[in-house]
Each structure stands twice: as structure tokens, then as C-alpha cells.
């Protein structure tokens, strides 16, 4: 089975590629390496250094003839989307459409798309369900939802089979502070390097933090299961920034150094996902809790800090 992964040199995409190759699948990676890291690319994967907006995408699909497509490539920084919504639209909406249209044209069996659960629902009072009102507060969220609607359109018009995974805040191995986002990776890296971290706001903002291995399992199940549609992927647990601070302190056994600054526009205050749909239809549930995930993340960051 041949699988194409856009963003396959990134945090989640490279982790999925490793898992699929270990299972014996042929993997093709497309990544422009703007934020992805070449050292994350599995040596057994075929690699194209190409942007998802490029006309070269059609040639790659025609040559490789993938059975399944995982789409991770994106502009992932909410704050950058606020500063430059036109660029965010180009990558997250139009770039995604390029991948989806090409998949439909080449009769791909299924497209699995990494969308956002953390930004799409806006501020929530209870765990957000897939059918809840969409209230995007940033261009990033708007364009991710636009990409979802393009998939629905292509299903209706061309019969493209798809699954959308609306991800909570993913963290873990390969998410380092050199990336654009990821508070656990950034804070843990700063703790290891004895650097001060910045908390925007008073630390009460909450998110649903899900570990990378659980997310990889969700994507594999979404490919294998004979079901389509939208699935929230998270832990169903609301965790504040100050809770993260405590988890890091408990893991490092040291006081965490931080300062608070003013909130930034485009960021939600509360976010947590209901994942019953994934439980029932994919047979998926998060297994790694924050304590275990923080320990694994710390161990990895310590192992690479001098590289």
C-alpha cells in the first residue's frame, strides 16, 4: 500500500511516517522544509521537497499513484495567521484545495486531513462536539474550516472519501521550541536550558493536550476504518497553562521560571473536546496522560539538547 504524507518532515507527519513504514507501507513525503526538519524524514520514505501550492503536486500524484493521502502541511501559527491572513489563506485553504483536488482526480481511496479542534470551536463552556457551532476566532481557524468544506464539496461532486481529524493541542517527541508553537515543548525546552518562559495572560487559559503517539494511532485508525466524516481527537480533559507549569515542575523537580505578559489576539480562552465520535466509530481513545507525556517529552528534549 502506498501512502503520501504532506508535511511529512514535521512533528506529526514524520511520526506517522515512521509508524506506517514500520508496518510495511510504502511512504511518499511531500514537504517544503520551511518548518519541517530533513533529519525527521525516514530514510525508507521517498521525499519530494515541494510546496503544496505548487503545480508539481499533480506530477507527483501521477507518478506515485498513492492509495491514501494524509494532509498535514500547513501554516500552523495562530499569531502569524492574524498578522498575515492572506498568506495563511494561501497555504491552509488554497494549498489544501490543491492537495484535495489532485487526490480526487487521481482516485485516491481516502484523504485524512489534520484540522484543528483547539481553534475551531471558539471559547467553550463544555467539551465541544463535532456538530457544535463553529466559531473561529483567527484566520488560521477560518482557513482550516474552509479546507474541511472543500473536502465535503469534493465528496459530493467527485465522490472523494475523507476523514477530518480535529486535533486538540498535540505535544510530545519532535515538538521542540524551535518550532512555531506548542507550549509544552517550548516550556519544557526552556526549563532544561534554564531560560525564562512567557505566559500570555494570567495562566488560566485552558487547552486539551493530547500526546503524539495517541494522535498517530488515531490517524492510522481513520485510514483503516470504513467510515468518513469529522472526528475530534483529544483527551476530553481541560488543562490550564498553570497546570502545565505544575506538570513540568513535578517532572523536572525544579521551580519553573516564567513571567506573565498581556494576552494576544486570536487565541481562545477555553478549549476541550468531546471525542465520543472517535471512541464509537474509530475505536480510538487517548491512553497517555499529561504526567506520562510530560516525562517522555522531557526525556527526549534532554537527549537532544546538545545536538
Which residue numbers are catalytic? 140
Q: Which letter, b or e, does each residue of 204-234 get, where b requires 16 or more Cβ atoms within 10 Å of its Cβ?
A: ebbbbbbbbbbbbbbbbbbbeeeebebbbbb
Report the distance separating Cα 263 and Cα 182, nearest Å. Answer: 16
Question: What are residue 116's phi and psi, to 5 degrees?
Answer: -115, 130
Task: Count CB atoms within 10 A of the CB of residue 256.
Answer: 20
Residues 6+ apart with CB under 8 A from 267: 78, 79, 137, 138, 200, 205
Contacts of 26 (CB under 8 A, 6+ apart): 1, 2, 3, 46
Q: How many CB atoms lie within 10 A of CB 165?
A: 24
Contact predicate 295/251, CB 8 Å: yes
Amino acid at each position: 500500500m502506498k501512502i503520501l504524507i504532506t508535511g511529512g518532515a514535521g512533528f506529526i507527519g514524520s511520526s506517522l511516517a515512521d509508524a506506517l513504514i514500520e508496518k510495511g507501507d510504502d511512504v511518499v513525503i511531500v514537504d517544503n522544509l520551511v518548518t519541517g526538519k530533513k533529519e525527521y524524514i525516514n530514510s525508507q520514505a521517498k521525499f519530494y521537497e515541494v510546496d503544496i501550492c505548487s503545480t508539481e503536486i499533480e506530477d507527483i500524484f501521477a507518478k506515485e499513484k498513492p492509495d491514501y493521502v494524509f494532509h498535514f502541511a500547513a501554516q500552523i501559527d495562530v499569531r502569524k495567521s492574524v498578522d498575515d491572513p492572506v498568506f495563511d489563506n494561501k497555504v491552509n485553504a488554497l494549498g489544501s484545495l490543491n492537495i484535495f483536488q489532485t487526490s480526487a482526480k487521481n482516485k485516491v481511496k481516502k484523504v485524512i486531513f489534520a484540522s484543528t479542534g483547539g481553534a475551531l470551536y471558539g471559547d467553550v463552556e463544555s467539551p465541544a462536539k463535532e456538530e457544535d457551532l463553529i466559531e473561529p476566532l483567527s484566520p488560521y481557524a477560518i482557513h482550516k474550516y474552509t479546507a474541511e468544506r472543500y473536502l465535503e464539496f469534493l465528496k459530493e461532486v467527485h465522490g472523494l472519501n475523507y476523514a477530518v481529524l480535529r486535533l486538540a493541542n498535540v505535544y510530545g517527541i519532535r515538538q521542540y521550541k524551535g518550532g512555531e508553537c506548542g507550549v509544552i515543548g517550548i516550556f519544557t525546552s526552556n526549563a532544561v536550558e534554564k531560560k525564562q518562559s512567557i505566559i500570555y495572560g494570567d495562566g488560566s487559559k485552558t487547552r486539551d493536550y493530547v500526546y503524539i503517539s495517541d494522535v498517530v494511532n488515531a490517524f492510522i485508525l481513520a485510514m483503516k476504518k470504513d467510515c468518513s466524516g469529522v472526528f475530534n481527537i483529544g483527551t476530553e480533559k481541560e488543562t490550564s497553562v498553570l497546570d502545565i507549569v505544575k506538570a513540568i515542575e513535578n517532572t523536572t523537580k525544579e521551580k519553573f521560571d516564567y513571567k506573565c505578559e498581556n494576552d494576544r489576539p486570536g487565541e481562545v480562552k477555553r478549549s476541550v473536546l468531546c471525542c465520543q465520535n472517535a471512541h464509537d466509530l474509530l475505536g480510538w481513545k487517548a491512553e497517555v496522560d499529561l504526567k506520562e507525556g510530560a516525562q517522555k517529552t522531557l526525556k527526549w528534549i534532554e537527549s537532544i539538547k546538545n545536538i
